[in-house]
Chains A and B, each alone.
Chain A
């Protein structure tokens, strides 16, 4: 068994609590189209069950929040459920529930997405509504105020009650000294409190346009009918003239290793994370992102990985260890290494052992058999993803939303296969401490203990 333990990191925030899917897809007969108003369309046929996943992705996320308005992308995502003139609050949700559909939305650093999973004959209703709220959202202070409280409760639940999440927030803020990935997706508490209706509407007018959106339809549908339906719904929306631009200040080249510590009485089990600034699939030179992907799998993808074997199995100084490459990002992104120490092992000792493993890969490279196994697993993920239309829709949506093309996705398995041990060795050089932040989650002495010690 393995212990689920990924350090608190920005993934995406859902409108309502729900599981999220993530994986790497490939293969089926994908069709791409674009409406005259600039809306991109992707159709992913899957005829195994009479259901369809309908998603609209906007190419803006928390990293596009204006200065001083952190959390507005996420807050607007909540407010998008407040209705339009033709579809007052609750009407569409009632309709979706009426045919047994599911709906939700999520916000990430680089994108915001809305989706419904419904019996296939209800696709057109979803399209009509989603097109309506791309243009005609109505917000009043009466609905904005309680929803702001909901978001503050969401923040209290995710972050303010959880020291691990607070450390994660501090680590991100330290890693990105200038680039907005350093801001939490949900926003800083004091700025959420100040978000107003006019802020939401200004943001909405700027980003919610056909040119900025991607429609993904996966399921028991044929591409021509989907495109026709899209024309008769989304196609009625006027183009804004051009897609909104993202203004993202570039993160300077890092030079100083940063150590961030958080100690809290509620922490009983310490943990360690290191996060490094690395290229993303969008910014990397050809092959580099794929090499980082393979490196993450080799270092920390399950029980045959280097970190697990060395730290947990052989040295027995950790009870969990892993790695993760957050490659799907518009700008330079993060590579995570993490571990939980065994009883009596300090975080410094664990950190030094992790350093030694990474240095070993950068110096000596890796076993060919480990490389083959890592690639086999990664490429298989693309096939496993075909089993789940919702996973496929999310993979395509996220990839296109950060600016990748269909062929990038189609070629991904081949590009993973092409990664050599030399590529992996080179990729390990990105995990230079000067490029990163180390985060320690520590137990603070309990008040009672402190009082006793003082006596």
Chain B
């Protein structure tokens, strides 16, 4: 089957209804009664990138507290109310967004939306849960402090975006965790939880009219305008440098990366394809073949293209025994250089396009996955039509596009490398 034929599959966009409530709240709905469930996901702009200077973790802490007491319920009462009806609800913060997920049996839909309304608009942020969530975040950070993966990731992050909010740890810092106050949480909430940047997706056993009513109830009370601090666009720093943090373990955990290509760049789609060829797929990727399969250097090796609202990076990682860490990095670097100089082969390009096109369907096979995808698309600025266009964009990537993107993405193959372990020869 050719790539082109697969793009002519039934329209995914046509399954999405844009529901707009009386109050003007929009949600993308996929109505489906096959399973008696309703799944909702929403996001607003303003994740960890909005943490106040010197106070990383505020957005994460706020997200962790939205289901810890709201309206007439204290924390215990709120969780009982959820559990009595088997309603799943959680909130989290990422770099650029703060979001929530809710899933309910359809017979409890009204109750689920009522509890979601309380969490979104009336979370109490009582002292008891504030201190408890702080202690949980604290313990989580302590637990990971000497975990090689965490150490390498954190070092890599700090070196890649120095001085920028993207360099801060999303889940906070042991040094400053004690200084996060309830006032910080309240300020973050009023700054980010607003209709202006709100994106919502709902999947499951619910019709548009019923949903519209719930949308006004849950989100209608939010202020229209967010008041986000300006975040500057930032280029990736540190390519060409290596940073080793000594951790007493037999294996070196490595992160490597360089400047990426952003979502709004015309080469974003070709870059996605060439990254897939380097380290995106599992068994077919060059890094898998060269590092794992041929040489047995590692169990895990990958690369990915990370696009944020204000920056983009190529980031990859592997873990290899200390004695062979330098060898692993050489292999990785030479594959990157090779792709930069020569581009992929026709066969690689063809396979990558086919994989990326065919695998798109696997992102849409459960209610929660569909809701997640639809919110991501909205937050990233895409319209519904992208659901159908996406595979056509991949299919249209030519060898010239791929070579150009590879040249830009991999450049002179210089990398920022962060290592946790006791690597030899690095």
Contact = CB atoms under 8 A, between A and B. Distances in A.
28 contacts: A46-B34, A81-B283, A90-B283, A93-B282, A94-B351, A97-B283, A98-B358, A99-B1, A99-B354, A99-B358, A100-B356, A101-B358, A102-B282, A145-B296, A153-B296, A156-B250, A156-B321, A157-B300, A161-B253, A161-B421, A162-B147, A268-B146, A304-B76, A313-B132, A316-B132, A340-B143, A381-B86, A387-B367
A387 B83 contact: no
A392 to B, nearest CB: 10
A383 B368 CA distance: 14
A266 interface: yes
Nearest 6 A/B pairs, CB to CB = A100-B358, A149-B296, A146-B296, A380-B86, A1-B64, A100-B359
A151 B299 CA distance: 7
A421 B39 CA distance: 32
Interface string A246-274: 00000000000000000001111101000
Contacts of A320: 136, 139
Contacts of B139: 3, 269, 319-320, 340
A102 B142 contact: no
Interface string A291-307: 00000000000111000
Contacts of A379: 86
B365 A319 contact: no
Given A153-B296, A313-B76, A387-B368, A100 B251 contact: no
A269 B136 contact: no
Interface in A217-249: none
B41 interface: no
Interface residues of A, number: 73
B245 interface: no
B362 interface: yes
A304 B297 contact: no
B83 A377 contact: yes
A102 B319 contact: no
Choose among A3, A146, A340 the residue with the greatest number of B CB atoms under 10 Å from its CB. Answer: A3
Interface stretch (A48-56, A208-216, A353-361, A399-407): A48-56
Interface string B141-167: 011011110000000000000000000
B12 to A, nearest CB: 10
A376 B319 contact: no
B283 A103 contact: yes
A308 to B, nearest CB: 9
Given A100-B356, A384-B37, 9 more contacts: A17-B299, A48-B365, A98-B351, A98-B354, A102-B282, A153-B251, A302-B83, A312-B132, A343-B135
Question: Looking at chain B's contact residues, is the secondary structure mostly helix, strand, loop, or mixed?
Answer: mixed
Most buried by B among A101, A104, A151, A387: A387
B68 interface: yes
Contacts of A16: 282-283, 299-300
B319 A319 contact: no
A389 interface: yes
Contacts of A319: 132, 135-136, 138-139
Residue picked from A97, A104, A146, A303, most chain B C-beta under 10 Å? A97
A51 B364 CA distance: 10
Nearest to B65: A1
A329 to B, nearest CB: 26
Nearest to A161: B249
B84 A373 contact: yes
Given A49-B361, A101-B358, A146-B293, A388 B366 contact: yes
B79 A302 contact: yes
B168 interface: no
Interface in B54-84: 63-65, 67-68, 75-76, 79-80, 83-84
Contacts of A388: 365-366
Interface in A141-164: 145-154, 156-157, 160-162
Contacts of B136: 1-3, 319-320
A365 interface: no
Which among A3, A100, A312 has the greatest number of chain B C-beta atoms within 10 A?
Answer: A100
B298 A153 contact: yes
A376 B37 contact: no
B296 A304 contact: no
A157 B295 contact: no
A93 B361 contact: no
A339 to B, nearest CB: 11
A104 B282 contact: yes
A148 B146 contact: no
Interface string A306-326: 000100110010011000000
Interface in A367-400: 373, 376-377, 379-381, 383-384, 386-390
B284 A1 contact: no
A47 B365 contact: no
Nearest to A447: B248
A51 B249 contact: no
Interface in A65-114: 81, 90, 93-94, 97-104
Contact of B319 (A149, A157, A389): A157
Interface string B16-38: 00000000000000001011110
Contact of B296 (A103, A150, A267, A302): A150
Nearest to B204: A387
A342 interface: yes
A287 interface: no
A50 B75 CA distance: 42
A84 B64 CA distance: 50
A183 interface: no
B103 A49 contact: no
A161 B136 CA distance: 24
A59 interface: no
B397 interface: no
Contacts of B281: 97
Contacts of B360: 100
